[in-house]
Amino acid sequence: MCHPSESTQWYDEWFDTMFKGFNSDFTRVEMFRENKKIKLKNDIYSWYDDSKFFNEVNKNSNSARKIYFSGGEPTLVENMYDMLEKIIDSGMAKDIELEYNINLTNIPRRAIDVWHNFKQVTLGGSIDAVGEYNNYIRHPSKWNKIEENIKWLDQNTNPNINFFCTATWQILNATQILDLIKWQIENKFVKFNRMANSVFFSFHTLSAPTYLNVKALPKELKQHVQDEFSKFDEEYLKPWINTLPEDFQFANTNYKADWNGRQPWDNNKHHLYEKIKNRLDTMMEFMWADDFSEHFPEFVKVTRTQDEYRNQSFDELYPAISTYVKREGI
């Protein structure tokens, strides 16, 4: 999961509720409060505010073929625009690919105008659920804005811009990831997720912190997740597949993404079903492979602390887990 090494928005909560520092790439970063603001004692992340860094990138851009930006939200970094404008002015943009790890909460039209000058731009969005669940998991993001940006990008960007989302599968979206799949099916996107390694969604299984790993769920709650996956298959996925004609093809089949091209599930509904079902089965196999339930009480403790700090309510959003926790006195 993300932590202060990915975004400054983590600083206050991390410092106030958890730790006074964090480890990143074998470096210990200490935090302190100054004038009601959390800062880093040995700040190794302020490069984005250093014009020297971007000047060095510009000097070496003649040999560059791909530039990768990791977020948070790189579109908020003013120096990024200055760097890209200089590359455009040099005439090299048409030969350079850009790739972003991004939250899709801030996509200014200014960025789109700049990106249209480059050979290829790939936006890898981090989305874990839809609606209030994504707001809860990825606090303080706002789903309405994310959804608005995705739909706008899908309809209004040049062919050189492609984007996809990856979910991090963990306790807080153990079943909610199914609604993310439904959302993508029902919106019939043309470009969105054209680069995903699997149809509709790709995902990482969370390994740390262990208390958020789906393997930390008690057996009863794992069975609840298993039942919800089975219900999704029988009551939604299969019926939807059966509504598709034998000669169906995705709306985005004719979108010629040179780096991905036609996928075998684009016009074969049986292959499409197998692809989705295999992914879901793999998730279940992962969940049941180990028992880390001794870490579940820590999940409850951390979640309660975050709820209080963020003024959120886990109990309202996750009644099945909440009922179990109350019954077991955790």
Supply the angle between the helices 269-289 and 219-232 in degrees, to the nearest 10: 180
What's the distance, CA 50 to chain centroid? 27
Would you state the structure tokens that stand for residue 203, as one six-digit string?
A: 């995902």
Identify the burial level of 71 via C-beta atoms within 10 angstroms of its C-beta, where 0-12 means exposed, 13-18 middle and 19 or more buried.
buried
pLDDT of 112 above 70: yes
Q: Is 329 strand, coil or helix?
A: coil
* Chain position carrying tokens 């959804």: 147
Q: Which of 43-52, 85-94, 120-129, 131-140 has the lowest mean pLDDT?
A: 43-52
Task: Give the angle 130-136-137 at the CA atoms, nearest 5°.
Answer: 80
Strand partners, 166: 126, 202
Contact 166, 206 (CB under 8 A): no
For the segment 206-232, what is each residue's pLDDT rounded down to a tens digit? 998 999 999 999 999 999 999 999 999
State the pLDDT at residue 149. Answer: 94
pLDDT of 72 above 50: yes
Position 57 confidence tier, pLDDT thresholds 50, 70, 90: confident
| Average pLDDT over all residues of the chain | 83
pLDDT of 306 above 80: yes
Contact 205, 167 (CB under 8 A): no
Contact 306, 298 (CB under 8 A): no
State the pLDDT at residue 259. Answer: 45
User: Mean pLDDT over residues 21-34, rounded?
Assistant: 53
Position 28 confidence tier, pLDDT thresholds 50, 70, 90: low
For the segment 257-271, what is each residue's pLDDT rounded down to a tens digit? 444 556 666 778 898
User: Mean pLDDT over residues 168-192, rounded?
Assistant: 93
Q: In the chain, what is the straight-line distance between the N-terminal and C-terminal CA atoms, in Å?
A: 24
Distance CA 276, CA 305 (A): 36
State the pLDDT at residue 254. Answer: 41
